[in-house]
Structure 1
């Protein structure tokens, strides 16, 4: 059990870190203990909780916290008592249309809101996601080196002239990736928050689209080698996508020890299954009519 002062420090992240250290459990083992109890929490979420970048507030997250207290063998309610009142950010979770807001699926919506300051997102809801294809390359040291994204969009009104990219890394302080337009777009305004691991960027179309018009764009996200060792890649869909294809390719000389595909809906409920690498040391997944929610792969190597 962590020292009593840790549980009375008034800091939820500090107390959680102390409790995890006292039990000697890594985040992967901690997540597995929770899964055995029927509770699904991602390693990224656990990392955010202990770093203070976000905290459990949703009903499902608070239920997971009760199980977490039991796994960590701290007194019932000791960690929950340090949370205090919920932060007033409901206006960011949903827009007037009733759809999830742009930051709703991110661990800390307020950080996304800050990073988007000055970025025009007004056309986002007027673009139907027909198809999205992400190809991710992971280097020999386990870091994501680059991601090439291709999307097919359809305008539901006259006027859409840009696509907004939001990229996040779980490794705070690591340089954010370079956003490189590849096809049918040009780079507009860019916003960065290195402490939060966020970069947002406008990809400007050659011209505004007419209603019913479709467009294929491609862009690439490039990290400084060896790349942030996030251990996962996921695409967040605030609006549904008809088809999403995700490929992750690893260095053949350094394949991961485990890999799984997962989805997480807008209620933070996760489902996962093991993924098997093919002959090219790659995995891929296909989702149809998916969203709102997150779709991704996570991987790791033996300690």
Structure 2
């Protein structure tokens, strides 16, 4: 068994052995990188080291300990903390760096985890190409139905469940690109009430860029349980939308509230009708008027 139980990870650290975990991709404008964390016992306690390096791996070279740092003039790791006990080290890594309690491994095994990640990433890129075929691409002709091609690729006949499964998986991995892909599938095949919980999570998550699509999806569900998240989306502006003076996210959320039954949605629209922001105020008043129209 590759992954250590909590007790085995603590035992390894007590014996002076390093444990580690591959944390996944990091992306900036200039280069693609990866992150991993190591917990290293010493006479001073357990050192917690976060490694951020360039992703230069190939199918033949996947020793992440040899990958260069993003800036060649800097070290590839930083000591985040030293704590006195193994249990505190595990807690620190899981709480502050998003390490999965079920995925700690012995020293050197994070390299194998990276190799698995490379394989899975290649598979996802192929999945993305299939999913993007659902869109209209000028000049491209495809034999047969793109919807059928997507279902065949994933080996299923249930497009709604496929979209839900992809959405849950993307959230579990905090992968913004895969959130986008999952939403494309879900808008194509439809949403169900089972989509509500992941959509509510995504409405408030700050690690993806598809909040406008999320509020639109919540609007299609027409459930009172979405009212609070939709109102939240009228008040919060994600950093990547800070430039948008037209408040497109808030406007879409208000229209989604208009499709949402129940007193919670009506109360939210009433509050928005008195907003200091002209765009929100006028949109909310228009939506409330339409709600009153038989």
| Structure of higher RCO (CA pairs closer than 8 Å, 6+ residues apart) | 1
More helix by share: 2
TM-score by length of 1: 0.30
TM-score by length of 2: 0.30
